[in-house]
Amino acid sequence: MKKRILLLATGGTIASQPTEEGLAPGLDGAALASLLPESVLARYEVTVRDILRLDSSNIQPEEWQLIARRVFEAREDYDGIVITHGTDTMAYTASILSVMVRGIPIPVVLTGAQLPIEHPLSDGEENLRLALAMAESGVGGVFVAFDRKVILGTRAVKTRTTGFDAFESVNWPYVAQVSGNGLNLNDGALPARSESPCVLRDALSPRVFLMKLTPGVDPELFDMLLQMHYRGIVIEAFGAGGLHFVRRDLVAKLQAAAQAGVSVVVCSQCLYEPSNFSVYEVGRRALEQGVIQGLDMTTEAAVTKLMWALGQTEDPAEVRRYFQRCLAGEVALS
């Protein structure tokens, strides 16, 4: 019996066509599907729905909520869902969907392309074929399928602007890879099956600011963020978690932010391996002021998880508790 696959089209490079102002999404989902070989389409029962037609730079929290609702509504009618999406913000969308529809029992697979699918050298067809194969796997969860590799949604990071191997799986093995044996699933990298039914939890707060720490950054920046009513801050700190406090005392500002009820998550600027604030004096000072350790989370996962947590509660202590739990494979807790 053919697997029932829902294709949700949102635009992106894969659907783009040349215009006088540059590439812009032009193809709808049906046109994308029609460009696949007949032998591929014959394998599945594919339903196509267009929900957006945007460059992914314009996909923001409101669009995440729309996509999550469409996925949730379809979860019982299909064996898998493929979402075509631009690459620039795909990792953010995959991360936020992972918590919005946590425990979804079917595969939800995001994919796209570095060249429009109508280009003769495009990677779009191959990526779409891979996404369909993962969508029929029966493995519940949210994934990114790209360049013959499948990545857990909360571990994907775009690391290349033009290369076809655009995404890496950071601090986590690939969920699946393609070889001469077909699609090879890595059981050890698959998300744990949820014992609870999937519930749509799409409330979020966009009032989260991401700051990459640079030597000498002015601590008064935090005062400005408080005045702008930001509720959460994610800091990409140095190395294992360094923040300067000599001459320009960032740590004191972290205390002021905590007292104002702002949740502060600190990750590392290093792409691989976890932050550890217990190693150095500067890190321990930050911990004393109530910062939340990002550990081995990607920046995309930390930002979206904080947005989502702030949508669930206004209590900073409850936000902290969310970060003390692994919700969708986004963090390895010691």
Average pLDDT over residues 71-77: 98
CATH of residue 16's domain is 3.40.50.1170
pLDDT digits (tens, 9 = 90+) for 299-311: 999 999 999 999 9
Per DSSP, the residues of 1-60 read --EEEEEEEEESGGGEE--TTS-EE---HHHHHHTS-HHHHTTEEEEEEEEEEE-GGG--
* Residues 114 and 144 occupy one common structural domain: yes
pLDDT of residue 184: 97
- 331 domain-assigned: no
The per-residue pLDDT for range 46-57, each reduced to its tens digit, is: 999 999 999 999
Residue 198 falls inside a structural domain:
no
Residue 333 counted as domain residue: no
Question: Are 259 and 168 within one domain?
Answer: no
Tens-digit pLDDT profile for residues 305-331:
999 999 999 999 999 999 999 999 999
Please report the pLDDT score of residue 285 as a whole number: 66
User: Is 285 in the same domain as 172?
Assistant: no
Q: Report pLDDT for 290.
A: 73
Average pLDDT, the chain: 93
Among 112-121, 196-205, 244-253, 280-289, which is the least confidently predicted range?
A: 280-289
pLDDT(148) > 90: yes
Does 279 map to a domain?
yes
pLDDT of residue 258: 83
Statement: residue 248 has pLDDT above 90:
no
Please say if the pLDDT value at position 288 is more than 70: no
The answer on 128 and 265 residing in a single domain is: no
Whether residue 87 contacts residue 166, with contact meaning beta carbons closer than 8 Å, is answered with yes
Q: Is residue 160 part of a domain?
A: yes
Residue from 258, 333, 265, 270 nearest 304 by CA: 265
DSSP state of 207: -
Cβ–Cβ < 8 Å for 244, 206: no
Distance (Å, whole) CA 35 – CA 162: 22
Average pLDDT (86-113) is 98
CA dihedral defined by 111, 117, 121, 126, rounded to 10 degrees?
A: 40
Q: What pLDDT is recorded for position 282? A: 58
Transcribe 220-254 into DSSP letters.
HHHHHHHHTT--EEEEEEBTTTB---SSS-HHHHH
Is residue 203 in some structural domain? no
Token pair belonging to 309? 């947590």
**265 shares its domain with 303:** yes
Classify residue 163 as exposed, middle or buried by CB count within 10 Å of its CB (0-12, 13-18, 19+). Answer: exposed
Q: Is residue 200 part of a domain?
A: no
State percent of the chain over pLDDT 90. Answer: 80
Q: Let me know whether 217 and 291 are in one domain.
A: yes
Mean pLDDT, to the nearest integer, of 102-123? 97
Average pLDDT of the segment spanning 255-264: 88
Domain boundary among 135, 156, 189: 189
CA angle at 47 for the pair 135 and 45, rounded to the nearest 5°:
65
Q: Residue 177 sits in which domain range?
A: 3-189
Among 133, 157, 189, the domain boundary falls at 189
* Residue type present at position 261: G
First to last CA, the chain: 43
* Shared domain check, 305 and 183: no
Q: How many CB atoms lie within 10 A of CB 180?
A: 5
**Could you give the angle at the alpha carbon of 167 between the alpha carbons of 71 and 152, nearest 5°?**
45
Q: Examine the domain organization and report whether 8 and 153 are in the same domain.
A: yes
Q: How far apart are CA 28 and CA 225, in angstroms?
A: 40
How many domains does the structure of the chain reveal?
2
Q: Do 175 and 142 form a contact (C-beta atoms < 8 A)?
A: no
- At 150 the pLDDT is 98
Indicate which CATH number applies to the domain containing 267: 3.40.50.40
Residues 136/44, Cβ–Cβ less than 8 Å: yes
**Distance between CA atoms of 140 and 127, rounded to whole angstroms?**
19
Q: For residue 280, what pLDDT band results from cuts at 50, 70 and 90?
A: low
**In the predicted structure, residue 125 carries a pLDDT above the cut 70:** yes
Confidence check: pLDDT of 196 > 60: yes
In a domain, 46, yes or no: yes
Catalytic residue among 13, 93, 298, 299: 13
pLDDT at 286: 61
Examine the domain organization and report whether 169 and 274 are in the same domain.
no
pTM of the predicted model as reported, rounded to 2 decimal places:
0.96
Phi/psi-derived region of residue 65, left when phi > 0, alpha when psi is between -120 and 50, beta in every other case: alpha
What phi-psi label fits residue 290: left (phi over 0), alpha (psi between -120 and 50 degrees) or beta? left
Note whether 291 and 170 are same-domain residues: no
10 is catalytic: no
